[in-house]
Structures are given as structure tokens and as C-alpha cells.
Amino acid sequence: MFGLRTKTMNLISSVKQSTQLVTQKSSNIIIKFNKRIEGTMVENWVKYWKTVCKDYKDVAVDLKTDVKRKPVKSMVILSGLGFAIFCAKHNPDERHFKNTFIKYVEFLPKSCGSCV
């Protein structure tokens, strides 16, 4: 029992150390990259995409809090969205509609002679 706990704690500490190393290395890369492109159009482009990512992250966080706060409203909205996507994917085109219509028009006299 204690051996498993020790292995788990060692695994957790090694994961923490590796994530710290990765964040240190990535922050150094970002700093070098920013110094190299300082004052160029690329810098503005990077700032723009960072802002876009931050905005989408904020929207996702707000959406998560709204879903937790009003689950019924969220369920209704998501169900409607799912239904709209289903209808869009299964919407027949004109050719498919004509072929199906002709198939059933031809089938009707065969199935019931007195119906026509």
C-alpha cells in the first residue's frame, strides 16, 4: 500500500517539474521571438491573434458559468442548435426530392389499385 503511494507522489512531482521546465523554456522562446520582431507588422499580427484567443477564452468561460447557472435554458438552446444542425445535414436537395416523389407515385398504384 505504501509503495503505491510513494510511486504516485514521485510521479506527481516529476510531472510538476517537467511542466515547470516546459513553461520556463516556452517563456524564453517567446521573449526571444518578441525581441526579434519588435516594431514590425508581424508583432501587430501576433498581438491581434493573442487578443482573438483571449476573447474566445473569455467567451468559453462565460458560457461555462451561464450553463451552470441556468441549465434548463442551456439545454433548450443546445437542443434547438442540435436540431438545426440535424436538419441542415439531412436537408434533401431538389433532385433527391423529385426521385423520391416519383418513386412513391409509381409505388401507389401497385400497392392499392382501388386507391387511384
Residue-level pLDDT at 86 = 95
Contacts 24+ apart (CB under 8 A), 34-41: none
C-alpha cell belonging to residue 98:
423529385
Q: Taking Cα atoms as reference points, which of 6, 27, 24, 5 lies closest to residue 16? A: 24
How do residues 44-90 score in pLDDT, each as one tens digit?
A: 888 899 999 999 999 999 989 998 999 999 999 999 999 999 999 98
Burial of 61 (0-12, 13-18, 19+ CB in 10 A): exposed
Angle at which helices 41-69 and 71-89 cross, to 10°: 120
